[in-house]
Amino acid sequence: MAYYFPEPSRTFSEFLLIPGYSSAACSPDNVSLVTPLVRFKKGEEPELTLNIPLTSAVMQAVSDDKMAVELAKEGGISFIYGSQSIESEAAMVARAKSYKSGFVVSDSNLTPENTLADVLALKEKTDHSTVAVTHDGTASGKLLGLVTSRDYRVSRMAVDEKVSAFMTPIEKLITAPYTTTLSEANDIIWEHKLNALPILSPTGELINMVFRKDYDFHKKNPLELLDSEKKYIVGAGINTRDYKERVPALIAAGADALVIDSSEGFTEWQKLVLDWIRAEYGDTVKVGAGNVVDGEGFRFLADSGADFVKVGIGGGSICITREQKGIGRGQASAVIDVAKEREKYFRETGVYVPICSDGGVVHDYHFTLALAMGADFLMLGRYFARFDESPANRVAVNGRYMKEYWGEGSARARNWQRYDLGGSAKLSFEEGVDSYVPYAGPMKDNLALTLGKMKSTMCNCGALTIAELQQKAKMTLVSATSIVEGGAHDVVLKGDNN
């Protein structure tokens, strides 16, 4: 007969951390969130580590080259979505790897034939007030001028007026050649009181923009995740179908780590991918696998050579796998079970395989709970989709700004490869929804608040590192009434008319 797990399937919200002894050294400023990204042997250091235990999900609505750069600046890693052509994904990886800190590829570009209405629409989409005007409307076209908020007044101009009529033409702009260093660019910006400096090729094509607001960037971002060449660490998603073509293209583009993007990882198909990568590249290519929800699934992928294992099925905010198929497990139960097997595997083999908690996060304190339960880092979709840096559109819904957010198992993503079992037929149902999430502004400010909460909670537990948190953490299950007690209760809140 079927096997029945003795414990119910539990979520993060069913647990609380119990405070531990905090020494005088337990200050958030002293907490380190450095954590391993890939497997390593006992007594050795992992080849790749994260400076914060957060990664962005392999999703169209979350992780493109822009998010990859911005999250690496903060110390994490993005896994650029694989539900696109090989050429497109490789190009995103290449753009992220070629990014020079302080030199920005323009994401607001129009032609002289566009109109003021197009400028306003682009500003609404990107939230950037500087628009590059190029001959073909691309970020690498011949620069013809710039449009800033000082070049137009909506109340005094017709929205169909062409950009060519009010842009600042190239003849009146101060530009710099492609050989200009960041230090030199900043000197030009300050000397001429500029907000933006275009960097041009010898034939006048736009290469980069340098903005006044990015001055002295490195001092503000001490946790940047960089490789040996001072380029940002970038991840990418692969599937179990075209991996023989996709993996070489992504590696050639500079990807530092790959992950097999699948809703269920305890399959022969993932083993075949791992076997092929090890046969072709040995241990030089770092690749994670998943997702699994129990120790048996973890052991299978660890034995197959996965550099890290993703944990979680059906717990994502837009995932309906459990509802559609009855497959999955509460995220807390899954992480606890897999972490136990990971420790057992480490004792037996001397090899530590990091685990990534993927899904099930609703509140910021869930991050710390996941780490305390044994996760080395988390993968997040909804959390990052809310920010300016995600590729999804910002839209107004009922007078409130929202960001579009859709699952990789939705019809919109059309990523059926993620959910099949290797056969030729497409599945006829969805495992993800198309939705909105509340717009939250720039990632940096929000992330600082989240990390601050994590560090403070770790100090409450007497831990200054993630490894120490996992050793010292004490947890308790909560009852329905204790959940009520944990919120505001028995008071009349200001502004409450009831």
Q: How far is CA 104 from CA 116, 181, 212, 396, 484, in A?
A: 24, 13, 12, 27, 48
Is residue 378 helix, strand or coil? Answer: strand
3-state secondary structure of 305: coil
Please identify every residue annotated as catalytic. Answer: 319, 418
| Pairing of β 206-211 and β 196-200 | antiparallel
Rounded CA separation 150/106 (Å)? 19
What is the C-alpha radius of gyration for the chain, rounded to an integer number of angstroms? 24
Q: To 10 degrees, the CA torsion angle through 76, 89, 259, 263?
A: 110
CA 10, 15, 23: angle at the middle one, nearest 5? Answer: 145
Nearest to 77 by CA among 107, 46, 37: 37
> By the 8 A CB rule, do 61 and 404 touch?
yes
Asked whether the beta carbons of 264 and 291 are under 8 A apart, the reply is yes
Under a CB-based contact definition with an 8 Å cutoff, are residues 377 and 469 in contact? no
Contact 374, 336 (CB under 8 A): yes
Which helix (H) or strand (E) element contains residue 413? none
What's the longest Cα–Cα distance across the chain? 80
Q: Which residue has the tokens 């560090």?
A: 455
